[in-house]
Amino acid sequence: MSGCGKVKAWQVPLRLVTGAFILHSGMEKWDGPDEQAQGVHGMARQTFPFLENIDAPRFLKLLAAGEIALGAALLTPMVPTRLAGAALTGFAGSLMAVYAQTPGLRKEGSVWPTPDGIGVSKDSWLLAIGLALTLSPHQKHHKHHKHLKGHGGRHQHHCHHEQGGRPGRHGHLQQAKQVAQEAKEARRLAKRVKGLSQDGHSHQHSHRHGPGHTRKGCPAHD
């Protein structure tokens, strides 16, 4: 389940349970009766006054559509976990705002619920799950990093894509840069060795034939 763009194993139960619950809730609301629409709309407009301009049946339908879309996103593996988690966090945050603002759901002067508020207070678990998914590590991981000491004290590293152990796009670019750097260092080292060899040969030649003697025209070099 791990890898780039895939749902990790620990995220599966969180997305599966919350997605199924929210999807089912939305489907139940889609054809909900007027009594349900009036009750849900009445609680929501106390927290969000602008909802007074929307009639109760239409609000219930919009809420149902939003829950269906959110539930489907959580259940769809192709939807990035952090995106689905952010949507769940926003949805659960609005539910907790309703819980905080609706009279009778909380004990006076306390965050703890009354018997009537227990059902709504449990939406705090959705908020916690949404935050956990949103704050989860990014899905694109690279096996990082085999450090190699290069010439001049510089460090080179290989970066391989996790999937199949093959280099990703970033890994190919790093490898190309490394090859170019190594080729450059090899040419530099070859020039240095060649220069040292020529200087050493010249020094031996001068020591053997005298400082004023030149290599040009010398039988030893013909």
Model's pTM, two decimal places? 0.60
Residue 210 banded pLDDT, cuts 50, 70, 90 = low
| Nearest by Cα to 125 from 116, 137, 113, 114 | 113
Tokens of 45: 């407009």
What is the DSSP annotation of 149-172?
A: E-GGG-EEEEEEESGGG---HHHH
pLDDT digits (tens, 9 = 90+) for 109-121: 899 999 999 988 9
Beta bridge partners of 146: 158
Residues 6 or more apart in contact with residue 84 via CB below 8 angstroms: 15, 73, 74, 133
Instruction: Count Cβ atoms below 10 Å from residue 171 Cβ, excluding itself.
Output: 16
Take residue 20 and report the two structure tokens written for it.
């199924």
- DSSP E strands: which ranges in 73-221? 142-149, 155-161
The number of angstroms, rounded, from the C-alpha of 157 to the middle of its chain's C-alpha atoms is 22
* pLDDT digits 0-9 by tens, 166-196: 555 556 667 777 767 777 777 776 666 566 5
